[in-house]
Amino acid sequence: MSEEKIPAESMSTNGAQVIPKNLPIELLPLYDWWKANGSQFLITAVTVVVVLGGAVAFKQYRDNKIDGVNKALLKASSLEELETVVAQYGSLKAGNAARLRLAKAYYDASKYEEALNAYETCISKGAPQGFAEIADLGRAHALEGLNRLDDALAAYQAFEKASAGHCLQPQAQMGVARIYTLQGKKDEAKKLLETLKAQKTGDSTWEMAVANLEGVVDRYEPRAARSLFDAADAAAKTVPAPSPAAAPVPAPVPVK
Protein backbone atom coordinates (compact mmCIF):
# COMPACT_ATOMS: atom_id res chain seq x y z
CA MET A 1 0.00 0.00 0.00
CA SER A 2 1.30 3.39 -0.91
CA GLU A 3 2.19 5.63 1.98
CA GLU A 4 1.75 8.79 -0.02
CA LYS A 5 0.30 11.47 2.21
CA ILE A 6 -1.98 14.33 1.44
CA PRO A 7 0.15 17.46 1.74
CA ALA A 8 -0.64 19.91 4.46
CA GLU A 9 -1.45 22.50 1.80
CA SER A 10 -4.63 20.54 1.07
CA MET A 11 -6.02 21.72 4.40
CA SER A 12 -8.88 24.15 3.82
CA THR A 13 -8.53 27.67 5.07
CA ASN A 14 -11.83 29.05 3.81
CA GLY A 15 -14.33 27.09 5.98
CA ALA A 16 -14.75 24.17 3.58
CA GLN A 17 -14.36 20.58 4.71
CA VAL A 18 -10.97 20.02 6.31
CA ILE A 19 -9.01 16.92 5.39
CA PRO A 20 -6.85 15.59 8.21
CA LYS A 21 -3.15 16.29 7.80
CA ASN A 22 -1.06 13.39 6.52
CA LEU A 23 -4.17 11.25 5.66
CA PRO A 24 -3.04 8.47 3.24
CA ILE A 25 -4.59 8.89 -0.20
CA GLU A 26 -5.93 5.33 -0.07
CA LEU A 27 -8.13 6.28 2.92
CA LEU A 28 -9.58 9.36 1.30
CA PRO A 29 -12.72 7.54 -0.04
CA LEU A 30 -13.31 6.02 3.40
CA TYR A 31 -12.90 9.44 4.98
CA ASP A 32 -15.38 10.95 2.56
CA TRP A 33 -17.89 8.17 3.29
CA TRP A 34 -17.45 8.64 7.03
CA LYS A 35 -18.00 12.35 6.82
CA ALA A 36 -21.16 11.78 4.79
CA ASN A 37 -22.63 8.74 6.63
CA GLY A 38 -20.71 8.22 9.83
CA SER A 39 -23.19 9.85 12.20
CA GLN A 40 -26.12 7.89 10.74
CA PHE A 41 -24.07 4.70 10.93
CA LEU A 42 -23.37 5.32 14.61
CA ILE A 43 -27.05 5.98 15.32
CA THR A 44 -28.04 2.78 13.52
CA ALA A 45 -25.39 0.74 15.30
CA VAL A 46 -26.43 2.07 18.71
CA THR A 47 -30.09 1.39 17.89
CA VAL A 48 -29.30 -2.20 16.91
CA VAL A 49 -27.34 -2.74 20.12
CA VAL A 50 -30.16 -1.30 22.23
CA VAL A 51 -32.82 -3.39 20.45
CA LEU A 52 -30.78 -6.59 20.74
CA GLY A 53 -30.02 -5.86 24.37
CA GLY A 54 -33.70 -5.22 25.04
CA ALA A 55 -34.66 -8.46 23.31
CA VAL A 56 -32.16 -10.43 25.38
CA ALA A 57 -33.36 -8.75 28.56
CA PHE A 58 -37.01 -9.44 27.70
CA LYS A 59 -36.24 -13.08 26.94
CA GLN A 60 -34.48 -13.41 30.28
CA TYR A 61 -37.42 -11.74 32.02
CA ARG A 62 -39.90 -14.02 30.25
CA ASP A 63 -37.86 -17.14 31.04
CA ASN A 64 -37.71 -16.13 34.70
CA LYS A 65 -41.48 -15.65 34.74
CA ILE A 66 -42.10 -19.02 33.11
CA ASP A 67 -39.76 -20.62 35.61
CA GLY A 68 -41.68 -18.92 38.41
CA VAL A 69 -45.01 -20.21 37.05
CA ASN A 70 -43.70 -23.76 36.78
CA LYS A 71 -42.28 -23.77 40.30
CA ALA A 72 -45.45 -22.28 41.78
CA LEU A 73 -47.60 -24.75 39.84
CA LEU A 74 -45.61 -27.71 41.10
CA LYS A 75 -46.00 -26.54 44.69
CA ALA A 76 -49.74 -25.79 44.42
CA SER A 77 -51.88 -28.63 45.69
CA SER A 78 -55.09 -27.01 46.91
CA LEU A 79 -57.78 -24.99 45.20
CA GLU A 80 -56.75 -21.88 47.13
CA GLU A 81 -53.09 -22.26 46.14
CA LEU A 82 -54.03 -22.64 42.48
CA GLU A 83 -56.17 -19.51 42.72
CA THR A 84 -53.13 -17.67 44.11
CA VAL A 85 -50.92 -18.86 41.26
CA VAL A 86 -53.47 -17.76 38.65
CA ALA A 87 -53.93 -14.39 40.35
CA GLN A 88 -50.16 -13.85 40.25
CA TYR A 89 -49.32 -15.23 36.81
CA GLY A 90 -52.66 -15.41 35.00
CA SER A 91 -51.88 -12.45 32.73
CA LEU A 92 -48.99 -14.40 31.19
CA LYS A 93 -49.50 -17.01 28.52
CA ALA A 94 -47.60 -19.46 30.71
CA GLY A 95 -50.15 -18.77 33.43
CA ASN A 96 -52.79 -20.50 31.35
CA ALA A 97 -51.34 -23.86 32.35
CA ALA A 98 -52.14 -22.94 35.95
CA ARG A 99 -55.59 -21.70 34.92
CA LEU A 100 -56.26 -25.05 33.23
CA ARG A 101 -55.47 -26.89 36.45
CA LEU A 102 -57.60 -24.45 38.40
CA ALA A 103 -60.55 -25.06 36.07
CA LYS A 104 -60.27 -28.81 36.68
CA ALA A 105 -60.06 -28.22 40.45
CA TYR A 106 -63.22 -26.10 40.29
CA TYR A 107 -64.99 -28.85 38.35
CA ASP A 108 -63.92 -31.54 40.83
CA ALA A 109 -65.28 -29.33 43.63
CA SER A 110 -68.62 -29.06 41.76
CA LYS A 111 -68.03 -25.33 41.22
CA TYR A 112 -69.22 -25.59 37.65
CA GLU A 113 -69.76 -21.88 37.00
CA GLU A 114 -66.22 -21.07 38.12
CA ALA A 115 -64.90 -23.99 36.08
CA LEU A 116 -66.72 -22.77 32.98
CA ASN A 117 -65.33 -19.25 33.39
CA ALA A 118 -61.80 -20.57 33.88
CA TYR A 119 -61.97 -22.85 30.83
CA GLU A 120 -63.39 -20.08 28.64
CA THR A 121 -60.71 -17.62 29.81
CA CYS A 122 -58.05 -20.21 29.10
CA ILE A 123 -59.42 -20.71 25.59
CA SER A 124 -59.67 -16.98 24.88
CA LYS A 125 -56.10 -16.34 26.04
CA GLY A 126 -54.72 -19.27 24.05
CA ALA A 127 -54.41 -22.60 25.81
CA PRO A 128 -50.86 -24.00 26.11
CA GLN A 129 -49.73 -25.96 23.08
CA GLY A 130 -51.24 -29.43 23.14
CA PHE A 131 -53.81 -28.47 25.79
CA ALA A 132 -56.39 -26.60 23.71
CA GLU A 133 -58.44 -29.79 23.31
CA ILE A 134 -58.45 -30.33 27.08
CA ALA A 135 -59.80 -26.81 27.60
CA ASP A 136 -62.51 -27.32 24.96
CA LEU A 137 -63.61 -30.63 26.41
CA GLY A 138 -63.44 -29.26 29.96
CA ARG A 139 -65.77 -26.44 28.92
CA ALA A 140 -68.29 -29.03 27.64
CA HIS A 141 -68.12 -30.90 30.96
CA ALA A 142 -68.70 -27.67 32.89
CA LEU A 143 -71.77 -26.90 30.77
CA GLU A 144 -73.07 -30.39 31.47
CA GLY A 145 -72.47 -29.87 35.19
CA LEU A 146 -74.55 -26.68 35.01
CA ASN A 147 -77.34 -28.71 33.36
CA ARG A 148 -77.12 -26.53 30.25
CA LEU A 149 -77.79 -29.62 28.20
CA ASP A 150 -78.27 -28.05 24.77
CA ASP A 151 -75.06 -26.02 25.11
CA ALA A 152 -73.16 -29.03 26.42
CA LEU A 153 -74.42 -31.22 23.57
CA ALA A 154 -73.32 -28.63 21.00
CA ALA A 155 -69.88 -28.37 22.66
CA TYR A 156 -69.38 -32.16 22.72
CA GLN A 157 -70.48 -32.53 19.11
CA ALA A 158 -68.26 -29.66 17.97
CA PHE A 159 -65.28 -31.27 19.74
CA GLU A 160 -66.10 -34.67 18.23
CA LYS A 161 -66.20 -33.18 14.74
CA ALA A 162 -63.12 -30.96 15.06
CA SER A 163 -60.95 -33.53 16.83
CA ALA A 164 -61.51 -36.69 14.81
CA GLY A 165 -58.95 -39.27 15.78
CA HIS A 166 -57.88 -37.38 18.90
CA CYS A 167 -57.32 -39.49 22.00
CA LEU A 168 -60.05 -37.53 23.82
CA GLN A 169 -62.67 -37.99 21.12
CA PRO A 170 -64.26 -41.02 22.86
CA GLN A 171 -64.83 -38.84 25.95
CA ALA A 172 -66.75 -36.39 23.79
CA GLN A 173 -68.81 -39.23 22.34
CA MET A 174 -69.65 -40.50 25.81
CA GLY A 175 -70.58 -36.94 26.74
CA VAL A 176 -73.04 -36.91 23.85
CA ALA A 177 -74.46 -40.22 25.08
CA ARG A 178 -74.95 -38.82 28.59
CA ILE A 179 -76.75 -35.75 27.25
CA TYR A 180 -78.98 -37.92 25.05
CA THR A 181 -79.88 -39.96 28.13
CA LEU A 182 -80.71 -36.88 30.19
CA GLN A 183 -82.86 -35.64 27.32
CA GLY A 184 -84.79 -38.91 27.31
CA LYS A 185 -83.14 -40.26 24.14
CA LYS A 186 -81.88 -43.51 25.63
CA ASP A 187 -82.09 -45.44 22.37
CA GLU A 188 -79.87 -42.91 20.61
CA ALA A 189 -77.45 -43.01 23.53
CA LYS A 190 -77.25 -46.80 23.45
CA LYS A 191 -76.72 -46.82 19.70
CA LEU A 192 -73.86 -44.34 20.04
CA LEU A 193 -72.25 -46.41 22.79
CA GLU A 194 -72.54 -49.59 20.73
CA THR A 195 -70.70 -47.86 17.88
CA LEU A 196 -68.03 -46.58 20.25
CA LYS A 197 -67.62 -50.01 21.83
CA ALA A 198 -67.09 -51.56 18.40
CA GLN A 199 -64.43 -48.97 17.59
CA LYS A 200 -62.57 -49.56 20.87
CA THR A 201 -62.49 -53.35 20.77
CA GLY A 202 -59.20 -54.49 22.25
CA ASP A 203 -58.71 -51.38 24.39
CA SER A 204 -59.62 -52.61 27.86
CA THR A 205 -59.65 -49.14 29.43
CA TRP A 206 -62.15 -47.73 26.98
CA GLU A 207 -64.17 -50.94 26.91
CA MET A 208 -64.62 -50.73 30.68
CA ALA A 209 -65.53 -47.03 30.55
CA VAL A 210 -68.12 -47.62 27.83
CA ALA A 211 -69.54 -50.65 29.64
CA ASN A 212 -69.90 -48.64 32.86
CA LEU A 213 -71.72 -45.86 31.02
CA GLU A 214 -73.98 -48.40 29.33
CA GLY A 215 -75.01 -49.64 32.77
CA VAL A 216 -75.77 -46.09 33.88
CA VAL A 217 -77.86 -45.45 30.76
CA ASP A 218 -79.80 -48.69 31.26
CA ARG A 219 -80.60 -47.85 34.88
CA TYR A 220 -81.40 -44.18 34.34
CA GLU A 221 -85.01 -43.19 34.78
CA PRO A 222 -85.93 -39.51 34.45
CA ARG A 223 -87.87 -38.06 37.33
CA ALA A 224 -91.55 -37.75 36.53
CA ALA A 225 -92.76 -34.19 36.36
CA ARG A 226 -95.18 -33.32 39.16
CA SER A 227 -97.47 -30.35 39.58
CA LEU A 228 -97.40 -28.22 42.70
CA PHE A 229 -100.72 -29.78 43.73
CA ASP A 230 -99.20 -33.27 43.59
CA ALA A 231 -96.22 -32.08 45.62
CA ALA A 232 -98.53 -30.59 48.26
CA ASP A 233 -100.56 -33.82 48.51
CA ALA A 234 -97.39 -35.88 48.86
CA ALA A 235 -96.11 -33.60 51.60
CA ALA A 236 -99.43 -33.85 53.46
CA LYS A 237 -99.26 -37.62 53.50
CA THR A 238 -95.93 -37.55 55.30
CA VAL A 239 -97.38 -35.66 58.32
CA PRO A 240 -98.00 -38.15 61.22
CA ALA A 241 -101.52 -38.50 62.61
CA PRO A 242 -102.01 -36.41 65.77
CA SER A 243 -102.34 -38.16 69.14
CA PRO A 244 -105.32 -37.34 71.36
CA ALA A 245 -103.20 -35.25 73.69
CA ALA A 246 -101.51 -33.29 70.92
CA ALA A 247 -102.66 -30.13 69.32
CA PRO A 248 -104.44 -30.67 66.03
CA VAL A 249 -102.35 -30.34 62.89
CA PRO A 250 -103.67 -27.73 60.45
CA ALA A 251 -104.90 -29.08 57.17
CA PRO A 252 -102.59 -28.45 54.22
CA VAL A 253 -103.14 -25.12 52.53
CA PRO A 254 -104.09 -25.65 48.89
CA VAL A 255 -101.50 -24.32 46.46
CA LYS A 256 -102.94 -21.76 44.08
* For the chain, domain boundaries: 162-220
Whole-angstrom CA distances from 95 to 78, 90, 101, 127, 140 are 17, 4, 10, 10, 22
- The backbone region for 202, taken as left when phi is positive above 0, alpha when psi lies in -120 to 50, beta otherwise, is left
Report yes or no: 22 and 3 within 8 Å, Cβ to Cβ: no
**Taking Cα atoms as reference points, which of 42, 26, 22, 45 lies closest to residue 34?**
42
| DSSP β-bridge partners for residue 26 | none
Tens of pLDDT along the chain (256 residues)?
Answer: 444 444 444 444 444 556 666 656 665 666 566 667 666 766 665 565 555 555 444 445 455 555 655 565 556 668 888 888 888 876 776 678 888 889 999 999 999 999 999 999 999 988 777 789 999 999 999 999 999 999 999 999 999 999 888 889 999 999 999 999 999 999 999 999 999 888 877 788 888 888 899 999 988 887 665 544 555 556 556 545 444 444 443 444 443 4
**132-145 vs 112-125: helix axis angle to the nearest 10?**
150
Whole-angstrom CA distances from 241 to 231, 237, 238 are 19, 9, 9
CA atoms within 13 A on the CB side of 86: 21
Biggest alpha carbon–alpha carbon distance for the chain: 139
Report yes or no: 40 and 15 within 8 Å, Cβ to Cβ: no
